[in-house]
Structure 1
Amino acid sequence: MNQVQKLAYMALFTAVATFGSSLIWFPAGAAKAYPVQHAVNVMAGVLLGPGPAVVIAFVTGLLRNLLGTGSLLAFPGGMIGAFLAGYMYQKTSRSWSASIGEVAGSGIVAPLLAVPYAKVLMGTAAGAFFFLPAFLVSSLSGSIIGLLLVRRLIKLKTWKYRLDH
């Protein structure tokens, strides 16, 4: 895949995640669950790799914050999950491992990192367990959706630029 094609796919995934997050969300404890972002993280991690997936998560978080549809917590959650989704797929070549990476990154690691982040940037001293259930529900639901979509794309041979090892 050449760089122009990769950038075009990155822009497409960013648009889907940004727009989809404004349409599809549900309350999940202390925060809102945005499964579209997590689904895109899994898909981008498998189809484009960890680097582009992290860029997509960052730009999506930035756009959602600028549009008023996201919070500052979208940055650590989205970026860590996207990286681990792509990294796990690169190491195993199994699409299900990208889902596990997304849940581990966005659902477990990100809430732990969100504690000092939320204290400094958002003025709240909520503990990790305050964020953990919401992050876990959001990442689990989205990673399942992403896994189903990416498996379907691969099965239909729709995606011909997949990273092969």
Structure 2
Amino acid sequence: MNNLRVRKIAFTAVLAAFAVVGSFISFPVFGAKCAPAQHLANILGAVFLGPLWNVAAAFVASLIRNLIGAGTPLAFPGSMCGALLAGVMYRAVRRLPAAWLGEIAGTGIIGGMLSYPVARFVLGNEKAALLTFVVPFLISSAGGAAIGAVITVAMEKLGLLEAERFFSGQRHGDAR
């Protein structure tokens, strides 16, 4: 059991590092910094780690991005809500589209709306409204989810999603 925890911690760190490095490939959309790599990391984390470890990876990535000046506090609600919902939906359905849709809805809609109080009260943006960040977050998460869809479908066809058992503690041939 301890070995399983070490594997999950290591992969969580890899996903967080990927999201941080990938954040340097970003583009502005209506005042938000959109980084598709975070959304790809959230989808991979949903499939391989589950919701809690996925949220941990998103939190660590957001924290590091903020500490090094590569992100804003808006990264926290967006990435963490997407990670949580993608993980929960994938865990419940065990189908890749559930992770993709969970990422888009979690980041784009829920994270976008939860960014309002962050923008208003933490960043002091008086012009922010409840739905201000929904469209830019939807654009970013849809782009990242599309990349994630291409990669995860290819992984599935190559049999690489069988590695999911590596992180879940199941042995070859065990039932899900």
The answer, yes or no, to whether TM exceeds 0.5 is yes
What is the letter of the counterpart of residue 84 of structure 2? Answer: F
Alpha-carbon distance, 1:159 to partner: 4.2
Aligned to 1:151: 153
Q: Secondary structure at the match of 1:128?
A: coil
Alpha-carbon distance, 1:161 to partner: 3.3
Superposition RMSD on alpha carbons, in Å?
1.5
Aligned to 1:81: 82
User: Aligned partners of 1:114 and 1:13: how far apart in 2?
Assistant: 23
Residues 82 and 105, structure 1, Cα contact 8 Å, conserved in 2: yes
Q: Secondary structure at the match of 1:32?
A: strand
- 1:21 pairs with 20, 23, 39, which one? 23
Residues 50 and 85, structure 1, Cα contact 8 Å, conserved in 2: yes
User: Aligned partners of 1:150 and 1:48: how far apart in 2?
Assistant: 14
User: Aligned partners of 1:9 and 1:159: how far apart in 2?
Assistant: 14
Deviations 1:43-92 (A, max 9, x none): 10111100111000000000000010000000000000000000000111
Q: Secondary structure at the match of 2:82?
A: helix
Aligned to 1:44: 45
Aligned to 1:58: 59
Counterparts in 2 of 1:1-165, with a 5 A limit? 2-22=4-24, 24-125=25-126, 126-162=128-164, 163=168, 165=176
Residues 26 and 34, structure 1, Cα contact 8 Å, conserved in 2: yes
Q: Which runs of 4+ in 1 moved over 3 A?
A: none
Is the radius of gyration larger for structure 1 or structure 2?
2
User: Aligned partners of 1:96 and 1:160: how far apart in 2?
Assistant: 17
User: Aligned partners of 1:10 and 1:159: how far apart in 2?
Assistant: 17
Alpha-carbon distance, 1:151 to partner: 2.2
Alpha-carbon distance, 1:128 to partner: 2.5
Q: Secondary structure at the match of 1:27?
A: strand
Instruction: Give the TM-score normalised by the residue count of structure 2.
Output: 0.87
Gaps of at least 5 residues in structure 2 are 169-174
User: Aligned partners of 2:27 and 2:118: how far apart in 1?
Assistant: 23
Residues 43 and 149, structure 1, Cα contact 8 Å, conserved in 2: no
What is the letter of the counterpart of residue 40 of structure 1? Answer: A
| Most deviating of 143-152 and 63-72 | 143-152
User: Aligned partners of 2:20 and 2:161: how far apart in 1?
Assistant: 22
Aligned to 2:172: none
What is the letter of the counterpart of residue 156 of structure 2? Answer: I
Alpha-carbon distance, 1:116 to partner: 1.6
What is the letter of the counterpart of residue 131 of structure 1? Answer: F
User: Aligned partners of 1:38 and 1:13: how far apart in 2?
Assistant: 11
User: Aligned partners of 1:121 and 1:27: how far apart in 2?
Assistant: 20
